[in-house]
Amino acid sequence: MLIFPGTNSESETVRICRDVGLDAESVHWSKAASLPKYDAYVLPGGFAYEDRVRAGAIPAHDPMMDYVIEAAGKDKLVLGICNGAQILLEAGLVPGTGAVRRPTAAFTRNAPSGKFVCKHVHIKLSGNPSRCAITAALPSDAIIPAWAAHGEGRLVATPEHLEEITSGGHLTFVYAHADGGVNDAAVPNGSALRCAGLTNKKGNVLAIMPHPERDAWNFNHPHRAVGKDILAPSGGATLFRAFAKALS
Known catalytic residues are 82, 211, 213
Give the torsion through C-alpha atoms of 105, 128, 68, 37, to 10 deg: 170
* 3-state class (DSSP) for residue 43: strand
Report the interhelical angle of 237-247 vs 10-19 (nearest 10°): 60
Please report which residue ranges of 20-170 form alpha helices under DSSP H: 63-73, 83-90, 159-167
**Rounded (to 5) percent helix, strand, coil in the chain:** 35, 25, 40
Cα atoms found within 13 Å of the Cα of residue 33, Cβ hemisphere only: 1
- Is the omega angle on the peptide bond into residue 63 within 30 degrees of 0, that is, cis? no
